[in-house]
Chain A
Amino acid sequence: MILWREVGQQLRHAVPKTVAGDMCLAPSRRYLSHSTTSWKTGVANSNQWNSSTRRSLQSPWQGWKRTQRCFSATAQAAHGHITPPKPGEEINVTFIDKDETKINIQVAEGDNLLDIAQANDLEMEGACGGSCACSTCHVIVEDPDMFDKMEEPSDDENDMLDLAFGLTETSRLGCQVLMNKELDGLVVRLPSMTRNLQASDFEDKKK
């Protein structure tokens, strides 16, 4: 963290202020840069410090968000670009991550779930950059009725879903689900990308 701050400060000194401001506004991806999107309406935070991924990923950045600093000078990738919703036209979507934390987000019509997740620092990968060529942005729609309201997945999407781990009847690729008013209140679950390590996996095996 301290390292990061130093790097950040160096960059802030190195880059003219106006540019730094623009960069702060640029949509960013989750990992090394931070997101200034602020229409996340509620995050159920667990306050344990035994590092779930979310916590350890997010907590270091929270101070930065508040002080509106930006310390990424890398070219921003075009992912995670979403439009802030106009007042009165917000569409609600809820993500449930693998720790069962619910994240409600208000979004605008036309944004896809991958971009929304990445703009809000959720743990969703988009290995192919949202071009329907991998299955890393697999989401599971909680409500079958909501799933039926969506447009049918294309053959290409189904081809990729076939390779998704933990495929269900209501699986979709996040990059292919565009939000619209019909889908207000959508709830999707992010499947775990890793085998969950148990504490017992780490007991006394170092012989």
Chain B
Amino acid sequence: MRQHPAFVCAQCTRLTRSIRWNVSPFSLPSTKRLNSHATQTGRLFRVAIVGSGPAGFYAASHLLAKQQDAVVDMYEKLPVPFGLVRYGVAPDHPEVKNCEEKFTEVATSSRFNFVGNIALGHDLPLAALKPHYDAILFAYGAARDKGLGIPGEEPRRNVYSARAFVGWYNGLPDHRDLEPDLTSGEDAVIIGHGNVALDVARILLSDVDALRKTDISDYALAALAQSRIKRVRVVGRRGPLQASFTIKEVRELLQLPSVSFEPIPKELFPPEETISALPRAQKRLIQLLAKGSTNNPETSSKSWSLQFCLSPSSFEMTPDASQVARVQFDRNYIEPANPYSRSSKAIPEYTESGQPARTNLPASIVFRSVGYRSLPLPNIQDLGIEFDELRGVIPNDGVGRVTTLSGSVNPQNFSAGSPASHLPGLYCAGWVKTGPTGVIASTMADAFTTADAIYRSGLGGVKPEAERLGLRRTSWQDWQRIDEKERALGKETGRPRAKLGRVSAMLEALD
């Protein structure tokens, strides 16, 4: 248990020393200046953001820009910020990490306060936070990966979660000691058809010297240099049209030097006229998959393939039962009634004798990569939040305000228009709100939406009433413009200023 002495409010815990929370529970060094600000404009709008990944930072950025009286405390479990940008984005995608520049810029704001190395719910009770903030925004992402739910899945020497492997090569402290076994054979099987699966495949297949130029962890580099993996099979439950990976990741793999790609059987693709009628993104992906790679298998040192319509059913062990040797898969086919949709279902295939149709793939190492899942923070229910265990999200109304479980909006009951009942002051953004899908662009848009909701909800008091009545208020900046105008007019006649004599003239100066 880590020790974090004395920063909880005296009202909440006796561990506290007498600290007055002038500005935010994690007071800024510039308290005095902020206080003078506070007394002049009323009060500050205090926001706690839980998590320092892209969702948290983009929400902070939007909020600080829109709301001049907002003060943000960003809580992070690790001592360091950026979440999956630092620990999830592949080391050979440095350009994706450029958003860290923007986050760093956000963090230079004196209204922004990073609170690292505090695991909320573990180290510090969530309920202790509540009285100190006008809004708490949960943006802590998806902390766990989904399991396969098949026999033999419990930790084996050479079966890993892709998430742990990604954390390992990216230097995430949690997985520092994973020590994946890359030397016991030449065949890797990755179960799952998402971008994480392709990231893992690319790291396994890339030339180590190319990775040397990246920020990949040095121990991972050393282990990958020893790797004997030659063939990587990326296996999915459904067909090419239902895969979740995106075209950029496929193209990168197809362009890896001296790595060949096993062509996908033609019968897995829809007929030509169906392809050309597909939505643009799907069409381009299918065309790329059908085109494949030009690298010659004869001269390539490594190879990879995409396997479709296979669901893992069990692991077959080596004779000494120390590790997995093969993965057994049940064959599927895509529902014939609706074969070409992204949401088409897989149906188990049976042999004539009524047995499940099966196939085996050799595997000296196995990665499961079938998606992430958010977890409730410990004692999140103390804030009244009923975590949606089924969907793995915090129930919300779609724009990011936390609701009761029955009031939450999900795509299925959205049109039913069930009245949302909000939990005031609580918000969510990013994967803990939407589920673990999407790229930084979508997380950013989502975080902006939630930040807008926080901002809108924060617009209490007199202002909306004045707005409703159509009153034209002047701001201090407006006065400064009037002042400037008066000085300019004065200058024309050699006087310090010429005062505008009518209210209408003053307002005209602003138009």
Contact = CB atoms under 8 A, between A and B. Distances in A.
Given A77-B101, A134-B96, A32 B108 contact: yes
B214 interface: no
A195 B434 CA distance: 14
Contact of A6 (B37, B401, B481): B37
Given A31-B65, A51-B66, A128-B95, A3 B37 contact: yes
A57 to B, nearest CB: 6
Interface in B402-457: 419-422, 424, 439-442, 444-445, 448-449, 452-453, 456-457
Contacts of A131: 95, 98
A197 interface: yes
A131 B101 CA distance: 13
Main secondary structure of the interface of A (DSSP, over half): loop
Give the interface residue-count category, chain B.
Answer: 35 or more
Given A7-B33, A50-B467, A202-B456, A31 B61 contact: yes
Contacts of B68: 1, 3-4, 56, 60
A32 to B, nearest CB: 6
Contacts, number: 160
A202 B477 contact: no
A113 to B, nearest CB: 16
B484 interface: yes
Contacts of A53: 65-66
Nearest to B511: A47
B102 interface: yes
Nearest to A135: B441
Interface in A123-173: 125, 127-129, 131-136, 155-156, 158-160, 162-165, 167
A68 interface: no
Contacts of A3: 33-34, 37, 68, 110-111
Contact of A206 (B98, B251, B399, B424): B424
Contacts of A6: 33, 36-37
B161 to A, nearest CB: 25
Interface in A16-61: 29, 31-33, 47, 49-51, 53, 56-57, 59-60
A127 B102 contact: yes
Contact of A162 (B93, B281, B448): B281
Contact of B449 (A2, A29, A134, A195): A195
A2 B106 CA distance: 18
B487 to A, nearest CB: 11
A72 to B, nearest CB: 8
B439 A163 contact: yes
A207 interface: yes
Contacts of A29: 102, 105
A194 B445 contact: yes
A134 B440 contact: yes
A83 interface: no
A197 B399 contact: yes
A30 to B, nearest CB: 8
Given A32-B106, A47-B510, A63 B445 contact: no
Given A136-B444, A159-B246, 14 more contacts: A3-B68, A31-B61, A33-B105, A50-B467, A60-B477, A77-B105, A133-B95, A156-B251, A162-B285, A163-B281, A165-B445, A193-B448, A201-B399, A207-B422
